Amino acid sequence: MKKYNTALTIAGSDSGGGAGIQADLKTFSACGCYGMSVITAITAQNTQGVSDIYPVQISTIEKQLDAVLQDIGADAVKIGMLHSSEVIKLVASKIKEYKIKNLVIDPVMVATSGDKLLQDEAIAALKTELLPLADVITPNIPEASILLGRNIRSQSDLPLAAREMSFSKNFSVLLKAGHLTENELIDVLYNADKDEIIRLASPRINTLNTHGTGCTLSSAIAAFLSKGNDLQTAVENGKNYIEKAIIKGRDYKLGHGHGPVHHFHNWWN
């Protein structure tokens, strides 16, 4: 019998479909994986913002994790925003219990407005309990600044910042440059296994349709890891996927705010 490459997302639901669980599952499918989900929160959300968040109770999150991992397992796991220290600690314990490999963490801590989404207690739990279990984390510059406790101001700061985030914890870091102002974006991948910095350049794409780009990129990386790609190849393939998804999605109009990327650009237009 054939075997699927499987990927699990642990994150919140986006009712508008552009980010969160919905974006993750679309990305897994588009990148050739069988996707599964553990929903940690339900949001009322569209292209203009989030109007309500309803956390899923801890026991239900635990039962979802056990149901998926006891029966199906996962070749890779992507983790998005976990809203409390209790949820973070639960997920960390399950990652260790099931000996999860290919763990990609998108440390979602800052809203587009610049407001922190996690309280200090949850950020501390994220740093001490969960991030050290990751194979790779994918922060943007505001998130990296919170993790480091200092501001990152320029492209030249990125290599040191990426290496510093990994120091003594031995996870790799993809530090995204999208919050800088240059026309050419140069993300920095610190490969902890090789103690190597890789610079990954891409053009800035002029579009309002950027909702869910962080979720989509981290999910694409998880999908490619589940298919046996090494880290650098998975990141390069993930960046290529999201770049094309942004380019193909910029011609569409959906809603009245920031629309989604085109997750299925390889399949339909």
Give the active site residues: 176, 210, 212-215
Q: Which two tokens stand for residue 44?
A: 């009322």
Can you say how many angstroms the Cα of residue 85 is from the centroid of all Cα atoms in its chain? Answer: 18
Can you say how many angstroms the Cα of residue 18 is from the centroid of all Cα atoms in its chain? Answer: 13
Contact between residue 260 and residue 68 where contact means Cβ atoms under 8 Å apart:
no
Q: Which two tokens stand for residue 180?
A: 């800088």
The whole-angstrom separation of Cα 110 and Cα 107 is 9
Can you say how many angstroms the Cα of residue 117 is from the centroid of all Cα atoms in its chain? Answer: 15
Q: How far is CA 23 from CA 35, 43, 216, in A?
A: 11, 14, 6
Residue 93 CB neighbour total at 10 angstroms: 14
Which residues 6+ apart lie within 8 Å of 120 measured at CB?
Answer: none
